[in-house]
Each structure stands twice: as structure tokens, then as C-alpha cells.
Amino acid sequence: MTQMLSTATKRAETGAGSAPTFSVISGEQVQKALGGHEKEIVDLIEATYKLHGAGDTVNPPSYFLRFPDRPTARIIALPASVGGSDRVDGLKWISSFPENVDSGLPRASAVLILNDPDTGYPFACLESSIISATRTAASAALAADWLSRTRTRPTRVGFFGTGLIARYIHTFLAGTGWTFDAIGVHDVSADSTSGFRGYLEQSGTGAKVTVHDTAEDLIRSSDLVVFATVAGTPHVTSPAWFDHNPVVLHISLRDLSPEVLLQAANFVDDVEHCLKADTSPHLVEQRTGNRDFLNGTLNDVILGRAAPPADRPVVFSPFGLGVLDLAVGKYVYDQAAETGNLRVIDDFFHDLRRYG
């Protein structure tokens, strides 16, 4: 049984000793809370990066559940805690089943659990594939902005991989003021390419949309390159393709060979998180035995501690931090509470008396 709560009965106003409440927030509610708020969400992501850089978060390693009989599939647990003025703890539980695409389902599905930092009780479960895509896209848009401030702002963007993440990244770029003269697309799936091109044309963009037959043509034709694939090993191996020194959003983490990264300026979201699980930066560390190829984190750039050079390709490789999911999830929860649209599960917690 569910009921709609008004703002007056939201979790923050339950008194000491009262039974905790638990809400379920659907994907539709999540989308309504986030849609059209791209600039606000990017500002939230920037603030969360700053909290993380200041040590006011807890973001342990992700935990991977893998399956011997389904080697391409995995489910990942991302526990995290965000401090600051709006504290929250929690866990993202996200699955990646690439074969879903063959049947028309998105590759990824996810839920997010929010926990009260004072009692530890979970107080909400949110559909989180939209939250995950949103924080990824907001992080990408933030990086595109900061990493291009020391050079001519890109006017030609290329999307390598044309699924849901690419769509969200384009939405966030457009929603934060980016305009392009040209948009290039490339994907190994002709259907995905066609679908993404259709989305772009319906989005109202004034850019010329071009489908590139090869990865090389896409990269050489773009000042801003977005990798959003499901690649498990590097498949782009020629540093020469990047001789025009583009900004590269290496969102999918395993597209670029060590040779490419060694010729570039490299920025990550978190060093320890990114240099593991055979990501492209991790492969560079394994090859060289050091981390000298890293120029810093995105937070270093934001705070002025590192500056992207204009005479080399600049690559941003974000592993994806659970604290970003928590920050966006808490934003969604607060929006639902303020509008009186929390769906609370009656008596979700039971037998709360210690001795019965």
C-alpha cells in the first residue's frame, strides 16, 4: 500500500523515536525532477567534486559481481557518503548486460538506496538508470567546459558510440549553452547510428549532422570527441588521429590505447578509482610502472591547480564516482518531497521494538 505525502510529512520532519519512513521514487518521477535542470545539475556535480577533493566524502572501491556463464554481464555496487551541508549515505546497484540491446532493452538498469546519516536507516529507493546517465552527462559537460577554457571553444563535436549515454551528454551540452557547427556520429551499429541521428535532428540543433563510416574520420573531424561505447579493450590505437589536439571525453574508459594516452594530457575524476580494472589509464600505469602521465584531476583544474595545455590532446577519463549518484539522488528526493509527491510505503519497517 502506498500513499502520497505532503511536504509537511516528509522524512526530515519525523520526530525522534518515530518510525522511519521509506519512499519509492519511480523513473518517471526522477525524469520530471531532473528534466530541464541541466545547468543546476552541472553546478551540483561541480560542488560534489569539490567536496570529494576536500576529503568530505567517502567513496570506497566499486564492487563487481561477475558471472562465469555470462562473461559480458556484470552488476556493480557503488557505496558512498556525501558530507557538507546536505549529508547523505547510500548505495548504487547498477547492472550492465550488453546483450539486452539485441532485444531492444537498454544495456544498463539501476537502483539507488539513500540512507539517513544519523540513523543509518534507508529512507528511499530510486530508479537510478536515469540518475546514473544524468550524473555521467553532467560530469562530461562540466569537463568539456573546464578543459576547453584555455583553448578555442570546440565547435565540432563527434560522438563515438550513440546509445543512451551519448544522448544524455548531448542534452547536457545543449542545456549548458554549447552550440556546434557540426555534429559527427559513428557507431558499429547502423541502427544505433540512425536512431541517434534522428534524435539529433528532432532536438532542434542547428548543426550539420554527419555520419562517419570510420572512427578515424570522426575523430579527425571533431574538436570535442565523446567516447560512449561498451568497449572492453582499446580499439583506437593511432595517436596521429589526434594531431589536431581535440578535447576528448573518454567516458567509456577502455577505448584508447596506451600509445594514445601517452601523447596526451590526461585528467581523471579520481586517481585511485580510475587506475584499476584495466581501464586505459590503468593499462598505461601497468606499462610504464608510474603515474607520471597524469596531469591531475578535474577538481585540480576547477581549483586552478592544473591547466590543460593547448598543444596536446586533452583526455578526460572519469571512472564514475558513487558520490555523484548520491548527490543527484538526494536532489531528486528533495524535489519529490517539496512538491508533495513522495510515495511512502506504509509499514515498510516492522518490529522496531528492541524487546518486542
Q: What is the pLDDT of residue 249?
A: 98
Which of 97-106, 177-186, 231-240, 252-261 has the least mean pLDDT? 97-106
Q: What is the pLDDT of residue 14?
A: 42
Both 170 and 289 in one domain: the answer is yes
10, 343 Cβ separation under 8 angstroms: no
pLDDT at 11 over 60: no
Q: How crowded is residue 346: how many other Cβ atoms within 10 Å of its Cβ? A: 9
* Residue 338 belongs to some domain of the structure: yes
**What number of residues does the chain have?**
356
The CATH number that applies at residue 15 is 3.30.1780.10
User: In 3D, which of 77, 85, 4 has the Cα closest to residue 44?
Assistant: 85
Mean pLDDT of the residues in the chain: 93
pTM here is 0.91
pLDDT at 111 over 70: yes
Both 109 and 235 in one domain: the answer is no
Both 260 and 192 in one domain: the answer is yes
Both 58 and 200 in one domain: the answer is no
Q: What is the pLDDT of residue 209?
A: 97
pLDDT at 186 over 60: yes
pLDDT at 184 over 70: yes
User: In 3D, which of 135, 160, 323 has the Cα closest to residue 241?
Assistant: 160
* Residue 83 belongs to some domain of the structure: yes
pLDDT at 7 over 60: no
Mean pLDDT of 306-316: 97
* Residue 354 belongs to some domain of the structure: no
Both 171 and 186 in one domain: the answer is yes
CA distances 40 to 46, 63, 178, 198, 354, Å, are 10, 30, 15, 27, 43
Both 116 and 154 in one domain: the answer is no
How many domains does the chain fold into?
A: 2
pLDDT at 2 over 50: no
Q: What is the pLDDT of residue 351?
A: 85
pLDDT at 94 over 80: yes
* Residue 300 belongs to some domain of the structure: yes
* Residue 163 belongs to some domain of the structure: yes
Q: What is the pLDDT of residue 183?
A: 98
Phi first, then psi, for residue 184 (nearest 5°) are: -105, 150
Range of the domain at 107: 2-131+322-345
pLDDT at 240 over 60: yes
pLDDT at 102 over 80: yes
